[in-house]
Amino acid sequence: MTWISNTITVFGGLLLAHACYSAQEHAALQSFRAAATSTLTSSTPVASSLPVDIAIETIAATLVIVLGLVLGTRPLRPIQWRVWAGKIEREGEEGFLGNNGEVEKDYMGNPFTYLESRPSFVDIHRQRKEFAEWIKNGGGGTGKK
């Protein structure tokens, strides 16, 4: 998804640079003509307003860049605790993907995981069975789960 917003932004940047260059050239030409005519005749003020196509290009470029930037922002997160925690419960990491499809770095995980590891809820018998099997299989680092 990032490449879409990046492409749009770069395209808008090119348009804006072109518009800027055109406006600069136009201003230079205007001042040149004003200097040339003022030496020939008595000063005839030249209308130095920007040509309408440059103005349109500038505004279009601005809109395109803003669109690209907005598409590039990271997804927002709910601030209410119950909405946020509910989203984590339902979607897990899926709900906190960044623009590039990976889980965002500051995703902290489920705030209720500690409930799962409370001592009263630990299944000691199962853990002992798993440990015995692990020993039986050689106990190496690559034991089967």
**Would you call 97 helix, strand, or coil by DSSP?**
strand
Question: How many residues sit in the footprint of other proteins (CB under 8 A)?
Answer: 40
Is 34 a binding residue for other proteins by CB under 8 A? The answer is: no
**CB nearer other proteins, residue 69 or residue 135:** 69
Pick one of 36, 40, 108, 124: the residue that binds other proteins (CB under 8 A): 108
Query: In this complex, which beta carbon is closest to other proteins, that of residue 37 or of residue 87?
Result: 87
Tokens 């803003």 — which residue? 66
Pair 144, 137: CB distance under 8 Å: yes
What type of residue sits at position 24?
Q
CA distance 109 to 85: 10
**Nearest to residue 4, comparing CAs of 100, 98, 76, 77?**
100
Using the rule CB under 8 A, is 58 a contact of other proteins? Answer: yes
Q: How would DSSP label each residue in 38-56?
A: HHHSS--PPP-PPPHHHHH
Q: How far apart are CA 116 and CA 118, in angstroms?
A: 6
Q: Interaction with other proteins in 110-139: which residues (CB under 8 A)? A: none
Among 6, 50, 103, 134, indicate the residue that binds other proteins (CB under 8 A). 50
**Of the candidate residues 4, 29, 74, 127, the single one contacting other proteins (CB under 8 A):** 74
Binding interface with other proteins (CB under 8 A): 16, 19-20, 23-24, 27, 49-50, 54-55, 58-59, 61-63, 65-67, 69-71, 73-84, 86-87, 90-91, 95, 106, 108
